[in-house]
Structure formats: structure tokens, C-alpha cells
Structure 1
């Protein structure tokens, strides 16, 4: 389908009668775009659903499709989407439980709130994929039954199901209290003992690297345990037993589990595998003594993870600051800091600590203004997007460090038209600043026109309704399909240009 029509389909200014015309010619791609519109009336919803099952599925998940709009025989995926949202009648679920296509029964097994007789039938389905999918979402009573299933794949799903009764999660984890599984995906298709080679030459092989079975289904048992250890419903006492397991892949979720005894965490702090200690360093249940021990860890990732502790002692922050990779939000400990603590951190001799404080977007005015006068570029880069900075302050920050802070200054919600126009003029090699300007609500027309000169900012700028109609008409012919589609979706596109796009 023409990219221009795809853009036109989401144009919020498109009159209803032209929406009808698009529905009348829609293929699946165009229908899915039209399904995104929030202004569709009931007749349009029904017509669009009849035109494309993909659009019908989207409309069903959005709550805009009704059972009366769908024929389950003609549009099974749309009917299943309605069942998934709870809007499909019970007889539809019974119909699909007996459907000849496995993918339809498997999709049904994902749906919540199935009638008991439907869930019972799916639990006895002859296809393992259906039962495995059901086990992942089944309610407690059925999950308890499926925990005894002879196939390890079903047990793996039960182990990941938070509705599974805790005592059975313990049994799946430890192997105690349940009969052993009788089969797994390896011995289903290979003569045991068998170990799947990492570089398997068979193009039709569905086994994973590391899959192995010697009759004990060892790789499958490992997967069941991995799922149970990640399941928050698994009792902590059972999880703690795996702190010394030979597999680091199983020790890692133990290290991440909250609420275990401190001696268990102390043991994991000595783990030889860094990823285990990294998971432990993030765990909010470890105590201050263990945090201090991990702050001395030789591994950079462990120290970086520790810096994200919400209860980190402030005196450790300066030590850990060089390890931190700043993100879009402040560290949890800084986010929770009091005004007194923030003032102390902001006066640190370590620029990285001041930078981490500057990432907060709710700083007191005085503290924000002091950081805006900082001499270090990374501090200014962090404070530049802070709301409340004046035009003069932003221009002063730009004057001091230019391209190093330009992108962040352009992202400031209070950046004025003068600031944005100045940044657009001096963008130079720092073209990313134009992408920020292109989406900024305060961007003036000269700055937006400058953004059109940059290949990556051009599609963003083409969507701005401030652009003159003549410019938008020119952009419809742009060789970049994204730009042309954005122009077609622009509510400021002249009406005659809109009509000209329609076949």
C-alpha cells in the first residue's frame, strides 16, 4: 500500500467521509493503520473489521469490537482476541477448544478466565504445545494438576506460573514430592544419551544449544528449576537451598531474590561468577555491611549495580560514582535523598556525584541554579534539561560548552524559541540536536525548517503542524518514504492535497 495513504490513514484532521473512502480500498496494512484512529464510529469499526482480520484483532484488543461484529468461522483470530479480552461468549471458547488448528487451540489456552470445561479439555489436548501454553496461565487448581504432568515441558510452564501453589513450586524446584518426568523435548526425538552440539548442522532441528538427556532429562530439569527460581511465588526457603548449586544460571536468580537470610547473601557475595554478584548487588534486601563489601568488588559491573541500591549509604556513593553509567533517571538513592543530603552531594569535589544529583528534575531552585553554574561539562549536560531554567541560564550553559550540552539543552521543556533557534543555527556536526528541536513544542518555524535539512530530523519535522501547507505539499514527494508519510499524516496538509492523494 502507498506510504502516502498509510500516512493519510492516521491524519487526525481527515474528515469522516474520507475515512470511509480509505476503509473501502484498504488492504491489511492500510486497515491496521486505520484501526489506530480514535475517532472511528461504530459503522466504521464494523466495516474495517470486516475488511481485515488484522485490524479486527487490534480493534478487539482496544475494546471497540463487539461479538456481534465478528463471525468466528470467518475471522477466528478476531474471535480469539475477543475471548482474550473477556468479551467473547463462552460458546466461542468451547468451539475453539475443539478447533482443528493447533495454533487456534494454543491461542485459546493463553486466554484468562476460560470456562472450567474448556480449560479441562485443553489440559487433555493431544498436542503438547497446547497443554504447555495452558500450564503457563492456568488457575491454581489446574496448575496443581499439571505439575504432575509426565512431560518436562509442561512442568516448565507450571514452574513459571505464579498461580501454582507454593508447595508444588517447591517440589518442582527440588524434585522432592513429585514423580520424575517421563519425557522431555530431547528424548522425544533422539536416542539417549544425547547432547545437542552447539553447532548443529541440521537446518530443521528444533533443539537448543545445551539440550541434553541421558534418561534423567537433565537440561529440561534445569529449565524447570530456572523458571521456579524466577517465580516470586516460590517459597524463599526453597530458593535459598540453591545458593550453592553448581550452575551459575541457577545461582543468579537466588542472588536476586529478596527476603532471604543474610548468611545466604554473604555466601553469594563470594561467588566466583561476576553475574551472580551483580544480581546480588542490585538486591534491596542485602544489608549495609554487605554493601560495603561489594563496594570493594573487583568487577566493574558489580560496583555499577550496587550504585543503584535504594538504601545505599551516601558515603559509598562517591566511591561508586566513577562506575556509574548515568541513565535518564536519577539513582534510587539520590531520588530518595533529602534536601540536606542533596545539598551535601551537590557540593562534592567529585564531578560525577554532582552530575548524578543534577539528573533529578525536582531540585530546589537554588540548588538547580548553583549546578547550572558548575564548571564541569558533564554536570551542565545533566542539569540542562531541568525544568525551570531561564532562557538566560540555558544560553549561558550553551555558551560555555556548546555542542557538548546542546542536545540536552534542546530537550529542556522550558527552552524558548530563541534558545531553540540558536541551537538550530549552530548545530554543525552535532546533528542529534535537530532531532530534539524537531519534536520540541516551542520550536519556531525557522528552527523547524532547519531541521528539514537533516535526514534523521526531517521525518520528525515533517509531522509538525506548524509547517506551511506549501512545504507539506513538497514533502509529499520526498524520496524518503518516512518523510512523505509524515507529511500525509500532518493535520495541516491542505484539503486539496488530501483529496489528491485518494484514488
Structure 2
């Protein structure tokens, strides 16, 4: 694919008549790019679909086509995409419910608003993948009925569906009150007993590593239990018995549930696997006692997860800021902090506490400016992107802390063209600075020309509307296809040049 044509196809300033001409000559690559244009009209979409029927699915998903534009027998993929969007015809649904291609029936099963007779037919489909897809999205009544399906794959899909009645989910997770399963993905394919080699050499094998069946469908039933534990509609009293389950995947699913009683939280806080403790650390169900235990955890994954908890005590959060690698993140506890708590953080002698507060973009101006004058470069770096900072303060940050804050100052939405030009002249490693400036809406032509020196920033600069048109035209022939594509997509590309590109494309069919 010619990257210039690809960029031009996405250019928002491309005149409609040139879009029409590109549609007339589009090959598969160009047609795909044109299908993504947000301003594509209905007539243009129909013309593009006629030119390349493979664009039907994205056009249908984008709302560009109607049922009248599609022959369901000729283009089943496009018709199914329309059904998936709630369009299409009920007769299409009946047509696909009887389709010999299982993939079509499976796609239909996931579509909303299916007629009752189609749902009944799909629920009785001989292919368990089709029934499982229906079970994922269906109504409580149909889900309850499919919970008795003989195939584990269907029951697992019922266990995922949040519309499934709680009593049915409880039966699925405990195995009580339902007829035993008789089929699973393992015994569908292999003579049992069978355990799948984790290093299976067969390229066409679809079984997951370690899948096994000795007649009890153990690995598939295990997956069903994990799915049911992850469903918030599964009753709490049906899941608490799994806190000591030997499978870490089961305990992992349990640890994320927001309805855990305190005794289960306390048990999982001592789990031998860090992943389980980390999921528990983010769980809104845990209380302060468990939080303080997890704050001392040796694993950084656990401590970082706790730092993201919306109710972690501020003193705990401040300690975690030293060891949990929070970075430039506005954590939920700081986002919801009161004015008094924010002022306490800003005036703390601990730079880590001040960094936490610096992530708030709604700080009162006095606190924001105080952080901008902070002696600690990490604090200043955190507050540098805040809107409303006076240019004098931004320049002072650069003069005081140099390369450590340049990129963050360049990301400030209120940075003026003059300030951005000033940043390009700083004597320091500037790759991140150039990239931030190249994406900044206020960047001037002078600043963008400097950004072209950086290999990564070059494509961003080529797409910037403030770049001089003559430079944009020169970049169309850049050896880096990312740069030439970005230049062709630049709305400041002269209309005469756009027309010339289309003229050349009409004469070069192999590049489309």
C-alpha cells in the first residue's frame, strides 16, 4: 500500500469529489482506509461497498449501510454485522439460524433482539459453540434452561452471563442441583483419559495447555467455576468456601469479588501467591486492618495495587509512594481527597506526599503554584502539566531543573508557542521533549521544524497543521512511511497537491 494514499484517505480536509474519485479506483488497502472516514456519506458508502464488498463489515458497524443495501445471501458477513448493530431483517435471522455454516450461526447467536423462534432454534443447535454464544447474552429464562445443557462449554457461558439468575449461578459454581455434564472440549476431541501436553506440537490443536478429562471433565469444570466466581451476580454464600481452593485461578477470581466477608479477606491476605494478594489489595471489600497488612507485603505488585485502592488511609498511601512505583498517576484516594487532606499533602515535608497531591489537576492556584516552586524536581515534574500555570513559573521550572522537567513542561496545555520554541533550544537530551511539542496544539512552525530532527517526533510533526505547507509537501517523499503517511493526512496539505496525488493514483493501479 502506498502510505501517501493511505494518509490522504484519512485526511479530514480531503474534498468530497476527491473522496469519490478514490472510491472509484480503490483497491483492498485503500478501500479499507476509506471505510474508516467519519464523514463518509451513505451514497459514498454504498459505492465503496460495491467497489470492495470486504468493506461491508466496517461500514455496517459504522452505521453507513442499511438493510436495503445488502443481499444477505451474497454477503452474509455484512448482513450479520447489521444484525449485530440491531439492524437487518428478522427474516435474515431465520435464514442464518438454518445456515449450514456454523460460524454464521455462532455470529447470529450473539446478536441482540432475535425473534423468539430463532432463539429456540439456536438453543437446540447441535454445535455447542453456537449455543454457548447464545448463552453469553441471552435472557434469564433462556440462561436458566441452558444451565442444564450437557456440554460444559455452554454451562460456562451461562456462568459468565450476568443476567443468569443467582440461584442458577450458585448451582453452577457448587455443582449441586443440576444434571451432570456429559461433554467437554477434551473428550469431544480425544479418547479419555487424556491430558494435553503443554508443549503440544500439533499446529491445529485448539486445546489449552494442561486441559484434561478422565470422564469427569475436570479441567472444563474448573474453568466453569472460575467463570462463575467472576460473575458479580453469583451469590456470596456460594463462593466463600473457595478461599482455600488448591487452584490459584479459583482463588484469583475470588479475591476480586467486591462482596467478600471480612474473614475471607483476611484469609486471602495470607495467600502464598502475590497475584491473589494483589487482586485482593484493589478489592473495595477489604477493611483498614487488611490494608495495613498488605501495605507491608514484600511484593511490589501487591503494594502498588493497594496504592490504587479508593479507601487506603493517607498515611499508608504516603508510605507506599516510596516503594510502590506509583509514578505520575492520580490514584483514586487522592482524587477523592477533601480540600483539607490535599492541603495536608501539599504542605507535607515528605516529597512523596507532595507528588501525590501534584497529580490533582483541580488544585487551588496557591497550592498549585507552591508545588511549581518546590525544591524537589520530581514534585515539579508532576505539577508541570497543570493547566493555568503562569508562563513565568513554567520557564522558571526549566531554568531550575533543566532536562528533568522539559518534557512535562512541553505537555502543559497552556504552554505558549514562544515557550515551546524556548524548550527546543535547551541544551539537553530532548527526544521526549520533541515528541511532546510535536503533539502540542500550540506548537509553532519554528518549534515543529526543530521536532523534525527527532526520528520518533518526525511523524507527529508531519501531521501538525501548523507545519508550513511547503514542508508538508516535501515530507510526502520522506523515506519513513510513517512520516509520508502523516504528511498526506495533514489537513494543511494544499488542495492542489491532494488532487495531484489522486491524479497519480488513477495512473498507478498497483499502488492502491
Normalising by structure 2, we get a TM-score of 0.95
Q: Residue 327 of structure 1: CA displacement?
A: 5.0
Output the CA distance in 2 between the equivalents of 1:62 and 1:201: 41
Q: Compared with structure 1, are the counterparts of its residues 408 and 19 closer, same or farther at alpha carbon in structure 2 (3 Å cutoff)? A: same
Aligned to 1:465: 465
Name the stretch that deviates more: 110-119 or 57-66. 57-66
Aligned mates of 2:37, 2:277 — CA distance in 1: 48
Q: Does 1:487 align with 2:487?
A: yes
Which has the higher mean CA deviation after the structures are superposed, 471-480 or 125-134? 125-134
What is the correspondence of 1:268-283 to structure 2 with a 5 Å cutoff? 268-283=268-283
> In the aligned structure 2, how far is the partner of 1:40 from the partner of 1:299?
51
2:307, 2:326 within 8 Å by CA — same for their partners in 1?
Answer: no
CA distances 1:217-272 after superposition (whole Å, capped 9, x unpaired): 11101100010011111111112221121112111221211122211211212222
Alignment of 1:245-394 (within 5 A): 245-327=245-327, 329-394=329-394
Hey, what's the Cα distance between the residues in 1 that align with 2:164 and 2:246? 26
Deviates more, 1:239-248 or 1:51-60: 51-60
Q: Counterpart of 2:220?
A: 220
Are 2:121 and 1:127 equivalent residues in the alignment?
no
Residues 57 and 218 of structure 1, relative CA distance in 2, 3 Å threshold: same
The 5 A counterparts of 1:20-169 are 20-169=20-169
Distance 1:122 1:99 in 2: 11
**1:253 match: secondary structure:** helix
User: Using the alignment, how far apart are the partners of 1:328 and 1:56 within structure 2?
Assistant: 42
Q: Secondary structure at the match of 2:315?
A: helix
How far, CA to CA, are the matches of 2:293 and 2:13 in structure 1? 61
Q: 1:167 and 1:338 mapped to 2: Cα distance?
A: 42
Q: Give SS of 1:188's match.
A: helix
Aligned CA-pair RMSD: 1.5
Q: Which moved more, 1:308-317 or 1:431-440?
A: 308-317
Query: Who is 2:510 aligned against?
Result: none
Greater relative CO (CA pairs within 8 A, separation 6+): 2
- On the 8 A contact 2:437/2:443 being kept in 1, the answer is yes
SS in 1 for 2:242: coil
Match of 1:409 in 2: 409
- 8 A contact 1:53–1:77 mirrored in 2: no
**1:239 pairs with 2:230:** no
Q: 8 Å contact 2:297–2:303 — kept in the other structure?
A: yes
Shift of the alpha carbon at 1:328? 5.1
Which region of structure 1 is more displaced relative to structure 2, 252-261 or 381-390? Answer: 252-261
Contact 2:57 2:78 in 1 (8 A): yes
List 4+ stretches of structure 1 deviating above 4 A: none
Give unpaired runs (5+ residues) of structure 1: none
Contact 2:173–2:228, Cα closer than 8 Å, also in 1: yes
- C-alpha contact 2:301 2:324 (8 A) present in aligned 1: no
Q: Deviations over 1:259-316 (max 9, x none)?
A: 2221121121222222111111111121122222222223222222111121112221
Match of 1:197 in 2: 197
Question: Where does residue 452 of structure 2 map in the other structure?
Answer: 452
Counterpart CA distance in 1 for 2:462 and 2:166 is 55
> Which secondary structure does the structure 1 equivalent of 2:272 belong to?
coil
Aligned residue pair count: 503
Residues 178-213 of structure 1, C-alpha deviations (whole Å, 9 max, x = no match): 112111111122222221122122222221111011
Moved more, 181-190 or 38-47: 38-47
Separation of aligned partners in 1, 2:270 and 2:383: 38
User: Which range moves more in the overlay, 100-109 or 294-303?
Assistant: 294-303
Distance across 2 between alignment mates of 1:386 and 1:277: 35
- Please list every run of 5 or more consecutive structure 2 residues that lacks an aligned counterpart in the other structure: 507-512
Match in the other structure for 1:432: 432
Change (3 A) 1:98 1:327: farther
2:244 alignment partner, SS class = coil
On the 8 A contact 1:9/1:19 being kept in 2, the answer is yes
Deviation at residue 59 of structure 1 after TM alignment:
2.2
Tell me how far apart the structure 1 counterparts of residues 90 and 117 of structure 2 sit (CA, whole Å): 10
**Structure 2 Cα separation of the partners of residues 473 and 418 of structure 1:** 25
1:404-423 CA distance string (max 9 Å, x none): 11111111101111221111
Mean Cα displacement is larger for which, 284-293 or 150-159? 284-293
TM-score by length of 1: 0.97
Deviation at 1:362, TM superposition (A): 0.8
